[in-house]
Amino acid sequence: MAANGSGLDVEQIRRDFPVLDQQVRGRRLAYLDNAATTQKPLAVLEAVDHYYRHDNANVHRGLHTLAERATERYESARDRLARFVNARDRREVVWTRGTTEAINLVAQCFAQTELGPGDAVLISELEHHSNIVPWQLACQRSGATLRWIPLAEDGTLDLSDLDALLEGVKLMSVAACSNALGTIHPVRQLVDAAHAAGAAVLIDAAQATVHQRMDVQAWNADFVALSGHKAYGPTGIGALIGTTEWLDRLAPWHGGGEMIETVTLEASTWNELPYKFEAGTPNIAGAIGLAAAIEWFDALDHAALLTHEQVLLHAATEGLQQIQGLRLIGTAADKAPIVSFVIDGVHPQDLATLIDQSGVAVRTGHHCAMPTMAKFGVPGTVRASMACYNSLEDIQQLIAATEIAAEILR
């Protein structure tokens, strides 16, 4: 049966998430912290459990049956992710611990061979710290300069000077979707502009992975970074999707087992892609769990899911705006289901603590986006972020909890 008028059977989906079926502080749990991490469906729990119960072995090196089974499942997971994001080639999928590690990989490799004094890297004022700090480090190390695409009042990027900003830029790195405000950026337009200026592009897809239909070929970026745990998969697994041209050109960053072809006392040679960037024993169970998450997620009706998310976003936006003194931060027309807000005269920390008393899990603080908070002149916001299993009941609980908290604190 369809729930919430979107055609998505939310009640059925919720049954796949045992963690949602609990009370918090004596109230039904409304989990609205999905931009931080999503909950995991039974299919993921079972895939990880099955791997450790039946197949656990190190990959690639053994000839015994368990090693072959583990390798087969681990490499199939790579194929599954490649298919999900529409990569051109499985060799373009490099496993990492998540988005942060994927961005650091590119930043450090660029600092090593691609950047130097006189070059520039372009990011935006709306980035997560994971897409700021690696570039600050890369610029410090290489002598390159860091430039910023400014943030407009409504939480969109101000692209009016983009062509000028791109002059001399070697690489531009921006998120497809902001974790702090929910703004969805025009990725293809940004990629085309950067390529026209001769710059490579990295897209941080940490938030976009489950709120858009992922198609890295349609984006046409040189690198895409993502995290499994924000896409219903386990923590500690993610990927860098890079074009074979760039991955072949860059030197490795971590040295160790797996990433070599030969090692002598004098020097080493590198393994083929993608193993050249995968030193050490990988997160085998994580990759298998992520493949299970993708399989589960891909079976949903995506058109209905996107409609459902917009219904939730609209309901939250409308309801919260009725609360006296509440100010939404980030009002772009194109948004993922994320609402960020402050209430005049109330510290976001106090607000979130009281909201939690009503069983509602929201995030408070700077959301790892201090430059964004500084731009809006706030220390932080309260952020509610939705996922496929959220219902209008969750949103009503959020609005009621915020109203009560605001009344107490004002």
Instruction: Please give the residue ranges that form the binding site for ligand PLP (CB under 6 A).
Output: 35, 98-100, 128, 130-131, 175, 179, 204, 206-207, 227
Judged by beta carbon, residue 130 or residue 142, the one nearer ligand PLP is 130
Q: How far is the CB of 211 from ligand PLP (least distance, A)?
A: 11
Q: In the bound complex, what is the minimum distance in angstroms from residue 315's beta carbon to ligand PLP?
A: 23
Query: Is the Cβ–Cβ distance between 183 and 330 less than 8 Å?
Result: yes
User: 274 Cβ partners below 8 Å, 6+ apart?
Assistant: 78, 90, 91, 92, 93, 94, 95, 247
Least distance between ligand PLP and beta carbon 354 (Å): 24
DSSP conformational letter for 55: I
Q: How far is the CB of 136 from ligand PLP (least distance, A)?
A: 15
Cβ closest to ligand PLP, residue 179 vs residue 283: 179
* Minimum gap (Å) between residue 369 Cβ and ligand PLP: 8
- Rounded to 5, what percent of the chain is helix, strand, coil? 45, 20, 40
Closest C-alpha among 376, 386, 331 to residue 181: 331
Between β-strands 169-175 and 120-124, what pairing exists: parallel, antiparallel or unpaired? Answer: parallel
List the catalytic residue out of 139, 177, 368, 388.
368
Phi and psi, residue 239, nearest 5°: -155, 155
* Sign of the alpha-carbon dihedral angle for 253, 259, 260, 261: negative
- Cα(347)–Cα(352) distance, rounded to whole angstroms? 9
Q: How far is the CB of 92 from ligand PLP (least distance, A)?
A: 19
Minimal CB distance to ligand PLP: which residue?
179
Q: What is the closest distance, in whole angstroms, from the C-beta atom of residue 33 to ligand PLP in the complex? A: 11
Cβ proximity to ligand PLP, 114 vs 204, nearer residue: 204
> Which residue lies nearer to ligand PLP by CB, 10 or 210?
210
Can 139 be counted among the known catalytic residues?
no
Burial tier of 196 (Cβ tally within 10 Å: 0-12, 13-18, 19+): exposed
**C-alpha separations of 281 from 257, 278, 395 in Å:** 8, 8, 42
Residue 83 burial (10 A CB sphere; 0-12, 13-18, 19+): middle
d(CA 118, CA 109): 18
Nearer Cβ to ligand PLP (4/207): 207
Exposed / middle / buried, residue 15 (Cβ in 10 Å: 0-12, 13-18, 19+): middle
Which of residues 331 and 385 has its CB atom nearest to ligand PLP in the complex?
385
Residue 316 token pair: 């939250």
CA nearest neighbour of 130 among 227, 219, 221, 249? 227
Nearer CB in complex with ligand PLP: 204/222: 204
Q: Tell me the β-bridge partners of 269.
A: 262
Shortest Å distance, C-beta 100 to ligand PLP = 3
For residue 83, CA distances in Å to 14, 23, 60, 214, 225 come to 26, 38, 22, 10, 15
| 123 vs 346 by CB, closer to ligand PLP | 123
HEC per residue, 122-182: EEECCCCHHHCHHHHHHHHHHCCEEEEECECCCCCECCCCHHHHCCCEEEEEEECECCCCC
Q: Could you give the residue numbers annotated as active site? A: 368
